[in-house]
Amino acid sequence: MPRETITVGGVIVEPGQRAYGSLYAGHLAARTEVRIPFQVLNGMADGPNICLEATLHGWEPMGAEILRRALLQVDPARLRGTIYCLPLANPFSVEFGGSVESTGTRVNPADLLDLNRVWPGKRENAWLTEQMAYVIWTEVLSRCQYLVDYHDGTGACDELPVAFPHAIPEDGAVQATLADGVGGSGGGNRLTSEYIADMNGKIRAMAEAFGSPVIWWRQTPVNPAMISGHCLLNGIVPLVVEAGGGGQIDFTIDQGVTCTLNILKHLGMIDGEPVLPERQLMVEQYVVYRSRTGGFYLPESGIALGVEVTKGQLLGQVIDPLTSEIQEECRSPVNGMIISRRIKMPINPGGYIAHIADLDSTIWSRENG
């Protein structure tokens, strides 16, 4: 049966074709257009629709580079299904807010809202960020059965690829809406035990197939205002991932490309077997270690991505940049593996030092030979 032509953002994409375009989301005060760029690969054969989306947070642009490289390796004439790619979902947060030199800002500088806290967005009586979410949802995401949401270690930290599956808790608990009415209201009574089991099984299979050395499994109450939570409540299988950081090209980008292609292989959209690391672990506990104070951060040598550390081991020190006085000794609170590590020296209170997978909370592991 011949596949259908797709129209998205006013762009017509024939079966077997790749196309680029942008979603129109409004105008700013000086009439600058707000446009969200996309790439679509419309396969020749039937298969799932997947949304690959990066940079909801503008200070985390490395997912865009991973997706650019990965999709150059996908031939739409041999693809099964359709890939909707939104590599720069929150464009002004990349371009403004910090500066290009400091890799953008987490929120949208136009209204200071977080594009990962406003789903499914609104068109009327809505902030710009809500209108952008609405356009993404109505024009792209609502057509899909799968979502992969890419984040990175921000400008301050480098990070291994890691799958952060948000699964639904056994009791189907959904968080309440935010007080100011921004964000979604959940899915009512649709979360039957069958729905939860089916969704969680698909998320787990996708997380394992992504092929990161560590998977952080989370089953906390669903936040319907997050893109992953909104998908969870609407039959779209979401996977949150992180990879790379510091705005730099290194091995984490190549690994992120491999992981991205693994997902497409897992879903049967492209040919080939997933390329997996020798060992994969799934943990339930994961430490986001942040500084108590400010100063210059000096890492200990040997605290590299992927190394194992013991509880109490020194990761680095925050020093007074004038007097050399040690302000804080940063020690691992767990026996763990370093998943992200700070690469930027100046640090304010609360700055990211490391993400550490708690190896004592391992719930699954696999040797891939």
d(CA 163, CA 149): 10
d(CA 106, CA 165): 21
Q: Is 132 left (phi over 0), alpha (psi -120 to 50) or beta?
A: alpha
Pick the closer one to Zn ion by CB: 182 or 359. 182
Pick the closer one to Zn ion by CB: 60 or 139. 60
- Vertex 52 angle, CA 191 and 174, to 5°: 25
Q: How far is the CB of 103 from Zn ion (least distance, A)?
A: 12
Report DSSP state, residue 221.
P
Q: How far is the CB of 329 from Zn ion (least distance, A)?
A: 28
Q: Which tokens in the block code for residue 17?
A: 């074709």
Radius of gyration of the CA atoms of the chain, in A: 21
Report DSSP state, residue 101.
G
Angstrom distances, CA of residue 48 to CA of 83, 294, 332:
8, 48, 42
Q: Which helix (H) or strand (E) holds 228?
A: helix 227-232
Pick the closer one to Zn ion by CB: 15 or 224. 224
Q: How far is the CB of 244 from Zn ion (least distance, A)?
A: 12
CB atoms under 10 Å from CB of 265, counted, come to 17
Helices (H), the chain: 62-72, 91-95, 128-139, 193-210, 227-232, 251-266
Q: How far is the CB of 354 from Zn ion (least distance, A)?
A: 16
Q: How far is the CB of 323 from Zn ion (least distance, A)?
A: 35
Judged by the rule CB under 5 A, the positions of this chain that interact with Zn ion are 57, 60, 151
Q: How far is the CB of 57 from Zn ion (least distance, A)?
A: 4
Q: For residue 133, give the 3-state DSSP assignment.
A: helix
Q: How far is the CB of 116 from Zn ion (least distance, A)?
A: 7
Pick the closer one to Zn ion by CB: 57 or 166. 57
Is residue 283 within 8 A of residue 361, CB to CB? The reply is yes
Pick the closer one to Zn ion by CB: 60 or 65. 60
Pick the closer one to Zn ion by CB: 63 or 76. 63
91 cis-preceded (ω within 30 degrees of 0): no
Pick the closer one to Zn ion by CB: 151 or 166. 151
Query: Residue 345: phi, psi to the nearest 5?
Result: -80, -55
Q: How far is the CB of 90 from Zn ion (least distance, A)?
A: 10
DSSP string, 172-189: --BPPPPTTS-S----TT
Q: How far is the CB of 132 from Zn ion (least distance, A)?
A: 16
Report how far apart the first and last C-alpha atoms of the chain are (Å, whole number). 40
Pick the closer one to Zn ion by CB: 57 or 342. 57
Pick the closer one to Zn ion by CB: 81 or 165. 165
Beta bridge partners of 329: 317
